[in-house]
Structure 1
Amino acid sequence: MSVREATYAFLRSVGINKIFGNPGSTELAMFRDFPDDFEYVLGLHEGAVVAMADGYAVASDNATVVNLHSAAGVGNAMGSVFTAFRNQAPIIIIAGQQSRALLPVEPFLYSERATELPRPYVKWSIEPARAEDVPAAIARAYYIAMQEPRGPTFVSVPADDWDRPGEPVAPRQVSRLVRPDPAMIAELRTALAEASNPVFVVGQANANAGAWDETIALAELHQAPVYAGPHAARNSFPETHPLFAGHLLWDRAPLVKTLTGHDLIVVLGAPAFIYHVEGTGPFIPEGATLWQVIDDPSIASWSPVGNAIVGNMKLAINDLLDSAPLTSRTPPPPRVRLPAPAPDRLTDAYLMSRIEAICPDDRVIVCEAPSSLDVMRAHLPMKEPASYYAHASGGLGYGLASAIGIAMAEPRRRVIALIGDGSSMYAIQALWTAVKLGTPVVFVIVNNQAYQALVGFGRLLGMGVPVGTVIDGLDFVKLAEGMSMKGEAITEASALDAALHRAFAFAGPYLLEVRTQAA
């Protein structure tokens, strides 16, 4: 058995049969006699490749493999690797390296410090000392990627290793979850029972653990309002539920103001808290106590206030539900939703309201339209589990490509990618892959001809329109047509409904460029 055959045998044994990649010369030997039961998903840029794998891995709940070229290819992908790390996406990156015999003379297309290049945004990184160690290294990379908190791992493989003799690696059972401290869970359970006005803040770790039903049950048991944490990258609670209170801001002072009046703040599966605006003053309201439950010990370690319990979110919430006393609290008043925008202007708010009206409930929204995020939350609520994906890193280039991977993992659900015009240009090559695979994603390009989120952020800093934020002159329909994708541009509100119906009815990928007007 060759190293290559042993590697494919292990991947097959753990349910991996897809490789997302953009190959180079140092990777070709990996694909000699490529197995018939594997699929190679080709992307035209390494960043797009990693983002597709990120979406597929998270949505399919299993690690997947990414194939990248040595140094330059890994470098091209690093923005998406950073996002995959923040998204807790279990990805095994197998990168090429020049042949071992050439490494002493610093050959063309080699990686000088291969294991250091993706650091610190991979959980583990190795270039095996011997060719025969490669399959075992890839097996270890799989187990580490799948261990909570999940994330990408990296294996650099010299080109001549794949044809060398190798030993099979038998799959093993390796625990992926950590049981939360039962004594601290008991303390938190008591604190919830004794609190006069508790509140929950939820985040992406709940969704990663599949704790949707448990989170709802815990909130209903205590009749406590539920907020989504700042910049939550996945949905963990139905936004139409009477207890859903909205999304917290990533600015300390308004966040504290929102939580004022609550004596107990329980943060489930989210940092406490993510900030994007410099702030001063307390981190939580005066007189309040904070408890955090999180799957990532590093997040628990830097939280500035409160007690932190580390462990799997589903296990933790089930433990909090177990033998919890019933409460007689009066539920908070339901949140008042904004009325639907008038159809006289093609604003991003009107766009979101019409998607909500026309698209089926069993949908998946992938969002990378930063300036439209607030209006999306106001007019396009997430109602079902695993129905919202975003980039936890804040770096652009995730949404358009990841929607393809998510659609591959969720073939029975309608995937809608809401992508800003600026964001889309970081991974526009991914449209080609969607066409080749026939992936039924509706790509909605929210075109406001600017990096509008930066314009808004500039206002917070007392600036006018910042330099470098105008990006007019792009024609996304022509870009799509150049990659054989059907699409159309909408410039008037009266044309939007018909265009959405055409896009949702189309069997393959479809692009809608919506040229929005200011509200």
Structure 2
Amino acid sequence: MPNSRPTVREVSFEIFQHFGVDRLFGNPGSTELPMLKAMPEGFDYVLGLNEAVVVGMADGYARSSGKPALVNLHSSAGTGHALGNLFTAFRNHAPIVVTAGQQARSILPYDPFLFAERPTEFPQPYVKWACEPARPEDVPQALLRAFHIALTPPMGPVFVSIPVDDWDRECDRPGLPELHMETLAAPHNIDLLARRFNRASHPALVLGTGSADSHSWDSAIALAERSGASVWVAPFAARDVFPEDHPQFAGFLPAMREDIVRLLDGHDMILVAGAPVFTYHVEGEGPHWPPHATLAALSDTESHLAALPGDALGVLGSVAPALAALAEKVQPRAFAGSAHALAAPEARMTDSYVLSRIAALRPANAVVVEEAPTARGPMHDNLPILREGGFFTCASGGLGYGLPAAIGAALGQNDKVLAVLGDGGAMYTIQGLYSARLHQTDISFLILNNSAYAALQGFASHFGMNSVPGTDLTGIDFVQLAQAQGVAARKVEETGDLDAALEWSFAQDGPSLLDLRIT
């Protein structure tokens, strides 16, 4: 009598499809080959030439599409290459399920070639959960749990190590439950927040990445307009949180304690939503917010509330429904603050001027993926984000995310992607251009090339340094790097050539690159 039990591989792909997964991001290795055998029709393999590229693409795809991403890595070596962008995915709250190859169970006691020793420990603490199933039959249940944990707010990457000989073993089909894991704030806590708003004369709403993760764009607008609140972006927010051309948009908070207190000084009540209070980049002294103001925090991330300083009020819950409920309860108030002003830069090849021309000429609904630390301030002043789902950047501060994330973002939605990158960051994962061409992604790679790690040079004065070794990047030709990988490219050195080059790039259907030589 023939055996009708399915294999681990067959059941695993049924689980992937149950969660809406139709592609696998990877760079194949020997211990992953049985996973790739007989992939279902219509299930795509998205190739990256380095595991950092693979995870960066998956991160951009998950955050832009709103679906979980599936990644396959090669035992310890591939996981090690991926760790920098896995750390970023963890900080970005990107729902990624990572499967990693492991050597065959029968030879694990003999320290075999290309195996992973203590595999579940290697990616920690920058995954929400890690597992190597005890038996081949347990792989499907481990994958089910992995997806549920990855998709539970605050979302994030998970890791499952799978021995190479497990995929062809027989197993039972587990049930495929559909879980909805949103955490709603208690009604009495919404009442507490509403009372604070109603007692205030000049409230402020500070929005962080968690606000965008819960799709709070419309509810944040509704609350701001009803309450008359000024809206600020939390330090190092990695998503679009509010329309930056809205009259109540006040600007961006820096990651410095004293400056935050100074900028928020005109407010007597502050609600921080979807962010910690606060993210700092340097040491500071004094209060964390103006002493005369009350502060409350709303987040679905427990650590944001557990670390609250002072006498703040903390409310646990998904940000979007809480802001919507709060908008129904606050008393209407006219806006009495001031709006964030855009700059009018001089026509020179500076980052400010180049960004202003990108803003003026960009296609409708274009999505911006940014990794240009030196230009972040000028970007705030010259390239406003105007649409929901229109901005992604790196929450971790590491480099090498932006270029592959732009590829993932292009795969995850249909609008043009503008990858605004620094030359230093772009070089971390420059081989991602091959994947951009291979998958014909609709991206304009815009390299703000100042021939330096200029962010470090600017930061050096904080430590009393006049110069920093290892920050001169003179001599890199991004046009040749792009063309070598099949991507059309142009160099721009003069302002008179800038608009035509941008229009050329924005008109391309596939990937293109501009090497923008800025002073």
Q: Normalising by the residue count of structure 1, what TM-score does the alignment of the two structures yield?
A: 0.97
SS at match of 1:242: coil
Partner of residue 315, structure 2: 309
Partner of residue 356, structure 1: 359
1:330 shift after superposition:
4.3
Q: Tell whether 2:230 aligns with 1:225.
A: yes
Partner of residue 469, structure 2: 467
Please give the alpha-carbon distance, in whole angstroms, between the structure 2 residues aligned to 1:255 and 1:440. Answer: 38
Please give the alpha-carbon distance, in whole angstroms, between the structure 2 residues aligned to 1:170 and 1:330. Answer: 52
Contact 2:231/2:249, CA 8 A, preserved across alignment: yes
Partner of residue 129, structure 1: 134
Partner of residue 400, structure 2: 397
The one of 492, 497, 501 equivalent to 1:490 is: 492
Comparing 269-278 with 176-185, greater Cα deviation is found at 176-185
Partner of residue 513, structure 1: 515
Comparing 164-173 with 306-315, greater Cα deviation is found at 164-173
SS at match of 1:450: coil
SS at match of 2:305: helix
1:211 shift after superposition:
1.1
1:496 shift after superposition:
0.4
Contact 1:54/1:84, CA 8 A, preserved across alignment: yes
Q: Where does structure 1 differ by over 3 angstroms across 4 or more consecutive aligned residues?
A: none
Please give the alpha-carbon distance, in whole angstroms, between the structure 1 residues aligned to 2:491 and 2:287. Answer: 48
Contact 2:228/2:332, CA 8 A, preserved across alignment: no
Contact 1:67/1:93, CA 8 A, preserved across alignment: yes
The one of 329, 353, 356 equivalent to 1:323 is: 329
SS at match of 2:281: coil
**Structure 1 residues 31-50: Cα deviation after superposition (integer angstroms, max 9, x where no partner):** 11121120000000001100
The 1:273–1:515 alpha-carbon spacing in structure 2 relative to 1, beyond 3 Å, is same
Please give the alpha-carbon distance, in whole angstroms, between the structure 1 residues aligned to 2:248 and 2:509. Answer: 37
The one of 256, 268, 271 equivalent to 2:273 is: 268
Please give the alpha-carbon distance, in whole angstroms, between the structure 2 residues aligned to 1:189 and 1:449. Answer: 50
1:13 shift after superposition:
1.5
Identity %: 45
**Structure 1 residues 332-371: Cα deviation after superposition (integer angstroms, max 9, x where no partner):** 13333322x222x211111001111111241111000000
The one of 24, 30, 36 equivalent to 2:35 is: 30
1:244 shift after superposition:
0.4
Please give the alpha-carbon distance, in whole angstroms, between the structure 1 residues aligned to 2:329 and 2:294. Answer: 22
The one of 88, 91, 115 equivalent to 2:96 is: 91
Q: Normalising by the residue count of structure 2, what TM-score does the alignment of the two structures yield?
A: 0.97
1:288 shift after superposition:
1.2
Q: Tell whether 2:346 aligns with 1:342.
A: yes
Provide the aligned C-alpha RMSD in A. Answer: 1.0
Mapping of residues 274-293 of structure 1, within 5 Å: 274-293=279-298
AA aligned opposite 1:312: S
Comparing 314-323 with 476-485, greater Cα deviation is found at 314-323
- Mark the runs of 5 or more structure 1 residues left unpaired by the alignment: none
Contact 1:47/1:80, CA 8 A, preserved across alignment: yes
Count of residues paired in the alignment: 513
Partner of residue 261, structure 2: 256
**Structure 1 residues 145-185: Cα deviation after superposition (integer angstroms, max 9, x where no partner):** 00000000000000000000022233212222101122221
Partner of residue 411, structure 2: 408
AA aligned opposite 1:151: G
Partner of residue 116, structure 2: 111
Please give the alpha-carbon distance, in whole angstroms, between the structure 2 residues aligned to 1:367 and 1:93. Answer: 24
Contact 1:348/1:375, CA 8 A, preserved across alignment: yes
1:460 shift after superposition:
2.5
Contact 1:224/1:243, CA 8 A, preserved across alignment: yes
AA aligned opposite 1:447: N
Please give the alpha-carbon distance, in whole angstroms, between the structure 2 residues aligned to 1:73 and 1:482. Answer: 25
Partner of residue 446, structure 1: 448
Partner of residue 304, structure 2: 299
Contact 1:26/1:96, CA 8 A, preserved across alignment: yes
Contact 2:227/2:331, CA 8 A, preserved across alignment: no
Q: Tell whether 2:172 aligns with 1:182.
A: no
AA aligned opposite 2:498: L
The one of 378, 383, 397 equivalent to 1:380 is: 383
Contact 1:488/1:513, CA 8 A, preserved across alignment: yes
- Mark the runs of 5 or more structure 2 residues left unpaired by the alignment: 1-5
Please give the alpha-carbon distance, in whole angstroms, between the structure 2 residues aligned to 1:211 and 1:199. Answer: 16
Contact 1:440/1:509, CA 8 A, preserved across alignment: yes
**Structure 1 residues 367-420: Cα deviation after superposition (integer angstroms, max 9, x where no partner):** 000001111110110011111100000011110000000011112x11000010
